[in-house]
Structure 1
Amino acid sequence: MPISSDVNNLNAPFPVVDADPHFSRVLRNLRTQDYILWGGATAFAPGALYGMELADPTKTGRVLMRSSLRLATWLGFAGGFLLAYQNVSLRMWGWKENSAEQAQDKAELSQLAKEGKPLYGESDLPEYIQGVAHRNSMWSQLKFGVMPWFNFVNHPFHGTDASKYKE
């Protein structure tokens, strides 16, 4: 009997593609709009800092300002990545429109089913540890403001019926 939280009863306006997507799967499902959001956040952070410096100069000097702009760029990059990752996760959960993700999911997992491979990858971890990893990463995308946490473990707990891929 699998050890998992109840992800099979998600109430979402769109079909659930994956209730706990693997990190690499989320990255494969980034859309152009996600890259634009990521790039916009990366550019906005140092731009906002520079704009505030122009509006009310701190007179700290060029060296300190350069370091501050580098840090702001890094924070914008990281924050933009987390926003883009969260957007993809919301689509995978069915909380946002996800027709592209549904089509990609059907194609990828149907191919794996035809080849007789595990749908969500192989893992050498015991089933209990896979369940622990699932419970730790489930809904973690909603808590990125507290601590970024990603699913790096292949496990069978994804809240979808695997039989639909064997057709």
Structure 2
Amino acid sequence: MAAERPPEVRSVTEYSALGQTGKPFVPAKGLNTDYPLIDSDPHFKRVVSYARPSDYLASSVLLAGGPALMLWWEKISPSEVSRPGFSSIMRLSGGVSLAAGFLLMYQRSINRFYGATENRRELEMDMREMTDRVKKGEPLYGVSTMTEYMQGVASRQSRYSGFWLHVVPWFNFVNHNQHGVDTAKYYRNAERELEGERGS
């Protein structure tokens, strides 16, 4: 007699944890930093779009540095490999340098969201972006199709992950509502601007 095939969809009744969506809210832990926190779990797009020209410059230097170092080593101590072999080495060093350059740019940008480095420009950009969203009636952190509980799960998976980017590159691609800041400031600023617009 053939063994019964296990069900592909597990019952929420049997596995009640799968159906729970009302677990307690877990707030983001505050860090003792020299600058204000902007976002404890910024979306990938925000981190890249908020990057400064100096971040891209540092990234470009690192990108060019890898292949340049390989050429310099080849010049002072020839490897005597064939041309196709050396081309493979250059492609590999270029690929590694490209990844390292991107991670450097991302690390520098996300540290400003955490308040780990000077972030006056990013604070102003964040306030402008969020205030405009409030005035347009849009969700602050984008539309999400996930439950509140799953948004919390997503947040806890990548919260402050930028500090460990050199160990495990881990990014937030999820729109959720848990970012470790009091969003009331955006609504207050939007109200002030709307009152000013009505008064003028």
TM (norm. structure 2) is: 0.79
2:28 alignment partner in structure 1: 6
Cα pair 1:4 1:157 within 8 Å, conserved: no
For structure 1, list consecutive stretches of 5 or more residues without a partner in the other structure.
none
Q: Distance in 1 between matches of 2:161 and 2:114?
A: 12
Could you report, residue by residue, the CA deviation over 1:84-132 in whole angstroms, capped at 9, with x for unpaired residues? 1011111111110001100100100011111221111111012222111
Aligned counterparts, 1:9-158, within 5 A: 9-158=30-179
Q: Distance in 2 between matches of 1:72 and 1:16?
A: 36
Q: Distance in 2 between matches of 1:50 and 1:141?
A: 32
Q: Distance in 2 between matches of 1:125 and 1:132?
A: 10
2:4 alignment partner in structure 1: none
Runs of 4+ in 1 over 4 A off after TM superposition: none
Q: Distance in 2 between matches of 1:3 and 1:69?
A: 49
Structure having the higher Rg: 2
RMSD across aligned positions (CA): 1.4
Between 1:133-142 and 1:33-42, the stretch displaced more is 133-142
Per-residue deviation, 1:136? 1.2
For structure 2, list consecutive stretches of 5 or more residues without a partner in the other structure.
1-21, 189-200
Cα pair 2:59 2:102 within 8 Å, conserved: yes
Cα pair 1:41 1:79 within 8 Å, conserved: yes
Q: Distance in 2 between matches of 1:151 and 1:3?
A: 19
Cα pair 1:23 1:152 within 8 Å, conserved: yes
Cα pair 1:109 1:119 within 8 Å, conserved: yes
Q: Distance in 1 between matches of 2:166 and 2:53?
A: 24
Greater RCO, CA 8 A, separation 6+: 1
Identity %: 40
Q: Distance in 1 between matches of 2:45 and 2:112?
A: 15
Cα pair 1:3 1:127 within 8 Å, conserved: no
How many residue pairs get aligned? The number is: 166
